[in-house]
């Protein structure tokens, strides 16, 4: 009895001891973990990069993580040489594979305050280019690089034409890593223009002298165009002064400026109707002090780009006749008319620089987003 009781006591003491030792060990490992070089810690070291790379890939997101993953993974000898080539190159190299529509631009990004970019059209630099910029409408003429793509290099698809004005190329559906387009949901959005805050150095807005009510400058005239049909109806209700190649007269830039600024309203009618396809047909009259009457994507989409009270949308009226009546009213009421320029107290129009702005913004993007990225189903995204 007593001996079994003594055994129980010593067993209890032994268990207590074990628990205390275990506790001490746990505490020890909690506090000393960073100093211990256990082989398993190697796994913890690589783990986050893998997770990171995965999310970057899944979300096509902005991240520097997966490039680290590339660097950490075992590499073949050619990969190592390529890494060396990139590391030795201090600036981000963007190779302009073709000039858009053949138009050259100078290769400095300083006007955008973008530094450490090396834009080039020298194809000998292909192997060390971080990005290669392609212009959709010239791809079929010029072709894509034949040489293998270095693992770190991103191919950038650029296009400023609407889907109606540029045909899909099925063969290049899954080759690009980034898109550069007027659409706001592209990787590197470059709209045709945008509003920037005015500074104290900017002149205060003064309404230019007006001697015309409604104007339109148009060259591309097709009877099936929605804008042509709308114009044909609207002109039955209000006098529209129409200019441009479609009316047998070519305008110089100066002519265009003089005409548009002397009109109270301007028909900012897009040739085709697509999301975010809002072109200089809107931004030029806004800049020149004319009120744009827009025909294009829905009002809501315009409001993603410009203030709601800065334009008139044809869909604000159930018929062209009602629009004409509103314009007559605004022609009579100067106070009401001037409300369309309220935005001028805060903003001014900045037109984007075709080609050059795409290249510089792409380069800047490449500097900030080094992770793996790819575009699947470009054709479906753009052409629907
Ligand atoms: C990526 O790196 C650049 C330059 O080192 C840095 O400016 C940027 O914030 C980083 N981006 C992310 C998502 O960590
Ligand atoms: C460029 O940077 C300079 C100095 O930081 C600044 O004064 C200037 O306004 C910037 N220009 C643009 C276009 O951001
Ligand atoms: C293109 O780059 C190569 C290699 O840096 C150089 O040898 C060649 O002169 C360059 N060509 C032109 C036209 O600048
Ligand atoms: C690029 O590197 C490949 C080997 O990976 C080589 O065959 C090719 O000639 C190089 N191209 C240029 C333009 O240097
Ligand atoms: C013009 O519009 C204002 C409101 O902005 C209104 O108070 C005024 O009566 C209108 N004038 C005329 C002549 O209709
Ligand atoms: C670019 O996209 C291609 C095609 O999807 C892919 O094979 C390549 O790994 C991507 N490169 C980078 C740096 O994201």
Is the confidence at residue 17, as pLDDT, over 70?
no
How confident is the prediction for the chain on average, in pLDDT?
84
Regarding whether 122 and 208 lie in a shared domain, the answer is: no
Global pTM value: 0.77
Regarding whether 185 and 226 lie in a shared domain, the answer is: no
Protein residue whose Cα sits closest to atom 2 of ligand 5: 336
Domain encompassing residue 139: 88-190+355-383
Spatial separation of the C-alpha atoms in residues 188 and 12, rounded to whole Å: 70
Closest-CA residue to 360 (of 100, 112, 63): 112
Regarding whether 223 and 361 lie in a shared domain, the answer is: no
CATH number of the domain residue 310 falls in: 3.40.50.11660
Bigger pLDDT: 165 or 42? 165
| pLDDT single digits (tens) 115-163 | 999 999 999 999 999 999 999 999 999 999 999 999 999 999 999 999 9
27 assigned to some structural domain: no
72 assigned to some structural domain: no
67 assigned to some structural domain: no
Pocket test for ligand 6, best of 64, 144, 179, 374 (most atoms within 8 A of CB): 374
Is the confidence at residue 203, as pLDDT, over 60?
yes
Q: How confident is the model at residue 19 (pLDDT cuts 50, 70, 90)?
A: confident
| pLDDT single digits (tens) 158-192 | 999 999 999 999 988 999 999 999 999 999 999 99
98 assigned to some structural domain: yes
- 124 CB near ligand 4 (under 6 Å): yes
| pLDDT single digits (tens) 314-359 | 999 999 999 999 999 999 999 999 999 999 999 999 999 999 999 9
**DSSP state letters, 241-263:** EEESGGGT----HHHHHHHHHTE
161 as an active site residue: the answer is yes
CATH number of the domain residue 133 falls in: 3.40.50
Regarding whether 326 and 253 lie in a shared domain, the answer is: yes
Helix axes 226-234, 320-332, angle to 10 degrees: 60
| Shortest-distance atom of ligand 5 to CA 332 | 13
24 assigned to some structural domain: no
Q: How confident is the model at residue 68 (pLDDT cuts 50, 70, 90)?
A: very low
pLDDT, position 11: 66
pLDDT, position 235: 97
65 assigned to some structural domain: no
Spatial separation of the C-alpha atoms in residues 70 and 324, rounded to whole Å: 62
Spatial separation of the C-alpha atoms in residues 177 and 131, rounded to whole Å: 9
Regarding whether 257 and 230 lie in a shared domain, the answer is: yes
- Summarize the chain as % helix, strand, coil (round to 5): 50, 15, 35
215 assigned to some structural domain: yes
Protein residue whose Cα sits closest to atom 12 of ligand 6: 372
Instruction: Provide the domain count of the chain.
Output: 2
Regarding whether 145 and 92 lie in a shared domain, the answer is: yes
Protein residue whose Cα sits closest to atom 11 of ligand 3: 122
Mean pLDDT of 97-107: 96
7 assigned to some structural domain: no
Q: How confident is the model at residue 23 (pLDDT cuts 50, 70, 90)?
A: low
**DSSP state letters, 172-215:** GTT--SEEEESSTTSSEE--SEEEEE--TTSPPP-PPP--EEEE
């Amino acid at each position: 009895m007593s001996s079994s009781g003594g055994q129980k006591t010593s067993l209890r003491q032994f268990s207590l001891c074990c628990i205390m030792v275990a506790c001490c060990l746990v505490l020890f490992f909690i506090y000393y973990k960073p100093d211990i070089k256990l082989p398993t810690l190697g796994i913890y070291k690589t783990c986050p990069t893998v997770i990171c790379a995965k999310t970057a890939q899944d979300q096509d997101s902005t991240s520097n993580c997966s490039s680290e993953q590339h660097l950490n993974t075992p590499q073949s000898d050619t990969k190592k040489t390529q890494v060396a080539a990139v590391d030795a190159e201090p600036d981000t190299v963007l190779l302009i594979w073709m000039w858009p529509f053949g138009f050259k631009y100078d290769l400095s990004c300083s006007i955008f305050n973008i530094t450490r970019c090396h834009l080039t059209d020298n194809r000998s630099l292909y192997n060390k280019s971080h990005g290669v910029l392609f212009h959709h409408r010239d791809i079929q003429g010029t072709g894509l690089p034949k040489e293998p793509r270095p693992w770190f290099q991103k191919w950038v698809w650029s296009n400023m034409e609407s889907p109606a004005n540029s045909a899909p190329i099925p063969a290049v559906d899954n080759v690009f890593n980034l898109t550069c387009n007027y659409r706001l949901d592209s990787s590197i959005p470059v709209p045709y223009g945008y509003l920037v805050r005015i500074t104290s150095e900017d002149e205060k807005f003064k309404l230019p002298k007006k001697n015309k009510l409604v104007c339109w400058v148009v060259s591309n005239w097709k009877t099936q165009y929605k804008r042509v049909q709308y114009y044909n109806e609207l002109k039955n209700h209000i006098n529209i002064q129409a200019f441009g190649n479609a009316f047998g007269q070519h305008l110089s830039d100066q002519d265009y400026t003089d005409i548009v600024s002397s009109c109270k309203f301007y028909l900012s009618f897009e040739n085709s109707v697509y999301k975010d396809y809002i072109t200089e047909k809107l931004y030029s009259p806004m800049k020149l002090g004319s009120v744009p009457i827009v025909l294009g994507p829905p009002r809501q989409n315009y409001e993603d780009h410009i203030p709601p009270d800065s334009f008139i949308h044809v869909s604000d009226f159930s018929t062209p006749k009602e629009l004409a009546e509103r314009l007559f009213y605004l022609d009579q009421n100067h106070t009401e008319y001037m409300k369309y320029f309220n935005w001028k107290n805060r903003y001014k129009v900045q037109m984007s620089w075709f080609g050059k702005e795409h290249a510089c913004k792409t380069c800047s993007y490449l500097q900030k987003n080094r992770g793996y990225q790819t575009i699947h189903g470009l054709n479906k995204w753009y052409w629907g």
